[in-house]
Amino acid sequence: MARHFGVGSRLARGDGHGGSAIAQTLRFASVALYAWSFLRFAAGAAVIAALLLIATRVSAAEPKAGGTVTAIIQPEPVVLTSALNSAAPTGTVSGNIFDGLVDYDFDLKPRPALATSWETSADGKAITFHLRPGVTWHDGTPFTSADVKWTLENVWKKIHPRNQLTFAKVTEVETPDDLTVVLKLSQPSVAILSSVNSNGAQVLPKHLYEGTDVLNNPYNNKPVGTGPFVFKEWKKGEYIALERNPNYWDKPKPYLDRLIFRVIPDAAARAAAFEKGEVQYGVLSPVPLKDAKRLAELPTLKVETKGYEWLSPFLFIDLNVDNPQLKDVRVRRAIAHAIDKAALARIVWFGFGEPASSPVPSTLKAFHDPAAPAYAFDTKQAEALLDEAGFPRGAGGVRFTLNHDYIPYGDDYKRSAEFIKQALKRVGVEVNVRTQDVPTYTKRVYGDRDSDVALTWFAAFSDPQVGVTRVYNSASIGKNIPWTNGSGYRNPEVDALISSVQGEADPEKRVADFRKLQQIVLTDLPTIPLVELKFFTVHAAGLKDAVTTGDQVYGSLKNAWFETAPAQN
């Protein structure tokens, strides 16, 4: 789902979905924009000093109420309830309408939201949530434990694509009173507490959904939530408008009067809208990477890479272990040695990423294993391994040829594929890069298994059980389920570890299991982790406290306030 989040969004982010043909040509326009930015910079220079003065003087001020934030949403969501659809744009809008039981700080520790406190029983087989009293749905109906129980039993366990696994061990939900929910588990399930924010486990209003066809319920497109903003209007193809919830439990929040998500499908137009001040907020890297650098230098805008800790996205390649060359582990290791990850992060990703050494990103400090086998950039070693595997350089210096498919979410992924092509060419492996749209890509990699090297990104999430184990779980091979095991790697020991971490209550034992998992998969190397991606948020400099949680990308703007209101268009 991770990808779902991000992924979906990248799609339409304009560069990919919106039209990769368009995106290419947009490059020309950036020249014009560039020239303009210099002019503007010079002109604005005089003003900057004054602005800075003002800024320092008021920065300690109390939040001010009022104002409208116009945000970018791209691509346009399909529905507005993330309980039913975990795509990225849905999550970004929905997080403002629905509060979660908790949200997560930058260290991914849960903080109270709809639940004021929670505890796990000593044997790990019961989790109790104490709900906040006095919370109402936007239609005035009280929010109670019955809503949580109903949603868990009918939506999370039956419809939600990721939670069916996360909540699989829940056998019974008890509601001793209106404000207490007890989950009875067949086995301990630690991962639950890392995905009960408004995106991971969104609670739906039972009184509007019970007894209906949940997937086609009209409230999916005009949601009634518990969050800081109330759904007002959705004009398809144009915008989604939300208004301040005057009865919000966390008074005096939210500070903003209105929140409007505008659909702007073209990447260059999004950059122009930020520059002009027509929009003040956009998540999931709303402008091309090269524009991000430029926009970050403008005094009116800020580029922020925090708020994605809960996602922890990482870029990697799946190596098809059924391929005649790639089935030899020496060939896979040679490929790892041939790719300079630091250069990939620096050049292709404009520094919005760090080289990755493990499928468990270093942002998941507890689980990441810094001692797992690493493959330093070393083309000599790569060539030696390829020779040893019995693939000497043939005519024209070519050892063999591989087909490489990249996830079609825009230029950044395409350039990464081209980078890999060049890197492997140096060690005598010819790479044939193939381009296609998303449905074709997922069918090829996860269904037909017709790809040799497949580039993609996943979100690891705060517990690797949720986001990482799917990469290696052999149960999903060739079943055409997007974003699962694309390499075809089968290892009974790994499968056993994956099922063991799901039912393990002892946190230290789980960490040990995850480290062992990293040791094995980095030795066998069916996938090569490349870059820990840093998505970014762009917001107006005058919009304060826009990024306050580790899951901000799918959280709400309840803390945000305008120091200087933008000129509204």
Partner 1 sequence: MIVVVLGIATINFFLLHLAPGDAAQVLAGEAGSATPEYIATLRAQFGLDRPLWSQFLSYLGNVLTFDLGWSFRHGMSVGRLILDRLPATLLLMGASVGFAALAGSALGALAGRRAGSLADTAVSTVALLFYATPTFWVGLVLTVIFSVWLDWLPVGGMTTIGAGFSGAAYALDVAHHLVLPAATLGLFYVAVYARLMRASVIDVQGRDYVRTAVAKGLRSHRILRRHVLRNALLPVVTMLGVQIGSVLGGAVLVETVFSWPGLGRLAFEALFQRDLNLLLGVLLCSSVVVVVVNLVVDLAYAALDPRIEVA
Give, as ranges, the residues between 67 and 106 that touch partner 1 (CB under 8 A).
68, 70, 75-76, 78-79, 85-88
Q: Is 17 in the site for partner 1 (CB under 8 A)?
A: yes
Q: What's the min distance (Å) between Cβ of 15 and partner 1?
A: 11
Long-range contacts of 474-479 (CB under 8 A, 24+ apart): 476/446, 477/449, 478/446, 478/447, 478/449, 479/446, 479/447
Pick the binder of partner 1 from 97, 148, 185, 241 (CB under 8 A): 241
Residues 317-376, interacting with partner 1 (CB under 8 A): none
Pick the binder of partner 1 from 99, 278, 524, 532 (CB under 8 A): 278
From 175-183, 198-206, 272-280, 312-320, give the range in contact with partner 1 by CB under 8 A: 272-280
Question: Taking CB under 8 A as the rule, which mask of x and - marks residues 37-56 in contact with partner 1?
Answer: --------------------
From 215-223, 304-312, 338-346, 556-564, give the range in contact with partner 1 by CB under 8 A: 215-223
Q: What's the min distance (Å) between Cβ of 243 and partner 1?
A: 10
Q: What's the min distance (Å) between Cβ of 486 and partner 1?
A: 12
Q: Is 479 in the site for partner 1 (CB under 8 A)?
A: yes
Residue 5 φ/ψ, nearest 5 degrees = -60, -70
C-alpha span between 470 and 182 (Å, rounded) = 28
Pick the binder of partner 1 from 305, 379, 440, 474 (CB under 8 A): 440
Q: Is 28 in the site for partner 1 (CB under 8 A)?
A: yes
Residue closer to partner 1 (CB basis): 276 or 365: 276
Q: What's the min distance (Å) between Cβ of 479 and partner 1?
A: 6
Long-range contacts of 234-238 (CB under 8 A, 24+ apart): 234/80, 236/76, 237/76, 237/263, 238/262, 238/263
Residue 409 φ/ψ, nearest 5 degrees = -105, 20
Q: Is 276 in the site for partner 1 (CB under 8 A)?
A: yes
Helix/strand/coil (H/E/C) assignment for every residue in 229-295: EEEEEEECCCEEEEEECCCCCCCCCCCCCEEEEEECCCHHHHHHHHHHCCCCEECCCCCCHHHHHHH
Q: Is 480 in the site for partner 1 (CB under 8 A)?
A: yes
For the record, the structure tokens of 59 come out as 């920065």
Q: Is 272 in the site for partner 1 (CB under 8 A)?
A: yes
Residue closer to partner 1 (CB basis): 25 or 499: 25
DSSP state of 300: T
Residue closer to partner 1 (CB basis): 20 or 357: 20
Q: In what order do the strands lie in the sheet with 170-177?
A: 115-120, 126-131, 180-185, 170-177
Q: Is 165 in the site for partner 1 (CB under 8 A)?
A: yes
Q: Is 454 in the site for partner 1 (CB under 8 A)?
A: no
Q: Is 19 in the site for partner 1 (CB under 8 A)?
A: yes
Q: Is 26 in the site for partner 1 (CB under 8 A)?
A: yes
Decide: helix, strand or coil at residue 108: coil
Q: What's the min distance (Å) between Cβ of 540 and partner 1?
A: 15
Q: What's the min distance (Å) between Cβ of 395 and partner 1?
A: 34
Residues 501-560, interacting with partner 1 (CB under 8 A): none
What is each CA distance from 400 to 346, 386, 450, 527, in whole angstroms? 29, 10, 17, 19
Q: Which helix (H) or strand (E) holds 174?
A: strand 170-177
Pick from 491, 500, 477, 488: nearest CA to 519: 491
